Structure 1
Amino acid sequence: MRIALGVEYDGSEYCGWQSQPSGGSVQDALEAALSKIACSDVRVTTAGRTDTGVHASYQVLHFDTQAQRPMNAWVRGVNALLPDSIAALWALQTTDDFHARYCASERCYLYLLLNHPVRPGLYHGKIGWFHQALDVERMRVAAQMLLGEHDFSAFRAAECQAKSPVRNLTRLEITRQGDIIAFELRANGFLHHMVRNIVGCLIYVGKGKYPPEWMRKLLEGRKRSDAAPTFSAAGLYLAGITYDPKWKLPHFVEPPLAALLPRMSRPGQSGCNMKIR
């Protein structure tokens, strides 16, 4: 029997998604909890692996088991065994040809950035930070140059294991409310560090170091060394996975982060009330 599971997690405490020999990953915690409910070893396959410090508000995985359990046991029972920073959202029995990774048609990431002279304290680890003033309009112009299918080698980590650097970026929207700048990216897939590298380059444009046209030059040059350094993982959220309706999985509407990050603007600024869901 194959079960699809939706989860969310705060990645601050973990060494990323992927299982490690010493433990300490999100996958390790989930497999331990699922194995106790199944009374046998359970191995999971995820839609997308997140790095150290990266969060997820909507991650999807699947696992196979012979254990006959009601679906709420894979949610309420598993949650009773998980650390507080990880939660199962839903469980659904599916067919053996469903694959959390290969059946996904699109992935959505959200990066939240505090643009203020003073670093965050209360939301440390939940939001990125840049102290200099940023021109969002310049960043938006630069972002448009990345849309479509391109070779994203300039935004790919050296250790990336993807067979091809070509991805189709269908959305890169930048919005600002008070001191918070939100970057929403959607694509058929993402390379290792791709989102954080794109955000880092957009920040270079926003602070005036390079013109918006620099983004096109980076794409054409395909050299990671020409781009900005990889930006902090703190504000990055895997916020949605899209599947064909035939799989009948619960569909995310928009990243549900408003409840996690209420009124984050600094004193004197309007509150950040991002109506995300």
Structure 2
Amino acid sequence: MQKLALGIEYDGSSYCGWQRQKDVPSIQSCIEYAIKKITTEQVTIFCAGRTDSGVHALGQVVHFETCSMRSKSAWTLGINHYLPSKICVRWVKLVNKDFHARFSAISRRYFYVIYNGYIRSALLFRNTWHYKKHLDINKMCDAAHCLLGENDFTSFCAVGCQSSSKQRKLHHIRIVRTGQCIVIDIKANSFMHHMVRNIVGSLVKVGCGEKPTTWVLELLSNCDRSLAGSTAPASGLYLVEVKYPSYFSIPSSFREELWRV
């Protein structure tokens, strides 16, 4: 028996989310089906972060155990042969028994992409949040600065979140504009359900002028989800990178230069 890690990329717009569910297509069920086709084994895969319906990934990481022996190219090409066009294995690595895609991770990084123009884009509509009002990213950056470091993010987690602690450490949050696209780059040790989308929804209220830049700091202090902005749509969210301790030697399929503006 060996344990393998895979780097996965997907467009989540056609799926119910990561987690396997009855009678609806999920990312997990598609990958498990493809693995079964080349191993004849019924495997269960574990991921670094269970993305919601409509959320995308450039750098999802999964692991599974198998008795089958294949070359790296045979694993990637073989699994991809049985995957739909919107899901792809980018790399494969043999890992030791202590590795776990979720529990071994030390940080996660997401991008949120807003298409900020009065007229929607036909090509980007399903992969961004189309927001018509002009957004001032300088105001958004000022507001976002107070979120850095370790804080209680109760105001930004989903209602009914079952996480035992609402404390998270935000490593960075960067906001850049290129043309009509705004990219919010956010990295933390881990995220709660809807945390990124709720942060984005609140920052947008600042960017469009509905709230002052100091409002986000008030939200952080009040620890009350009902006071914050609405949850941004899933269509603009991308899991781009998961980091692990260096001794696991986990590769990354995320290419920073392709997103640099």
TM-score range, shorter chain: over 0.9
**DSSP-derived class of the 2:106 partner:** strand
**DSSP-derived class of the 1:141 partner:** helix
Distance 1:89 1:159 in 2: 35
Contact 1:240 1:255 in 2 (8 A): no
Distance 1:38 1:135 in 2: 52
Residue 159 of structure 1 and its aligned partner are, at CA, apart by 3.5
For residue 250 of structure 2, what is the aligned residue in structure 1? 249
For residue 202 of structure 2, what is the aligned residue in structure 1? 201
Residue 254 of structure 1 and its aligned partner are, at CA, apart by 4.1
Distance 2:67 2:254 in 1: 32
Query: Relative to structure 1, is the Cα distance of residues 129 and 164 closer, same or farther in structure 2, using a 3 angstrom cutoff?
Result: same
Contact 2:156 2:228 in 1 (8 A): yes
Contact 2:58 2:254 in 1 (8 A): no
For residue 232 of structure 2, what is the aligned residue in structure 1? 231
The one-letter code matched in structure 1 to 2:140 is: M
Contact 2:111 2:238 in 1 (8 A): yes
Distance 2:127 2:23 in 1: 25
Contact 2:110 2:239 in 1 (8 A): yes
Counterparts of 1:1-277 in structure 2 under 5 Å?
A: 1-252=2-253, 254-255=255-256, 258=258, 274-275=259-260
Q: What do the CA deviations read for 1:67-98 (whole angstroms, capped 9, x no partner)? A: 12222222100000000000001111111100
The one-letter code matched in structure 2 to 1:210 is: K
In structure 2, stretches of 5+ residues that fail to align are none
Residue 164 of structure 1 and its aligned partner are, at CA, apart by 1.3
**DSSP-derived class of the 2:250 partner:** coil
Distance 2:154 2:185 in 1: 20
Contact 1:241 1:252 in 2 (8 A): no
Distance 1:248 1:177 in 2: 33
Distance 1:227 1:118 in 2: 27
Residue 122 of structure 1 and its aligned partner are, at CA, apart by 1.5
Sequence identity of aligned pairs in percent? 42
Which has the larger helix fraction?
Answer: 2
Return 64-73 or 162-171, whichever deviates more.
64-73
In structure 1, stretches of 5+ residues that fail to align are 259-273
Residue 162 of structure 1 and its aligned partner are, at CA, apart by 1.9
For residue 268 of structure 1, what is the aligned residue in structure 2? none
Distance 1:254 1:152 in 2: 29
Return 88-97 or 156-165, whichever deviates more.
156-165
Residue 147 of structure 1 and its aligned partner are, at CA, apart by 0.6
**DSSP-derived class of the 1:75 partner:** helix
TM superposition score normalised by structure 1 = 0.91
Contact 1:240 1:254 in 2 (8 A): no
Distance 1:177 1:92 in 2: 35
Distance 1:84 1:161 in 2: 34
Contact 2:198 2:229 in 1 (8 A): yes
Query: Relative to structure 1, is the Cα distance of residues 169 and 95 closer, same or farther in structure 2, using a 3 angstrom cutoff?
Result: same
Contact 1:54 1:236 in 2 (8 A): yes
**DSSP-derived class of the 1:16 partner:** coil
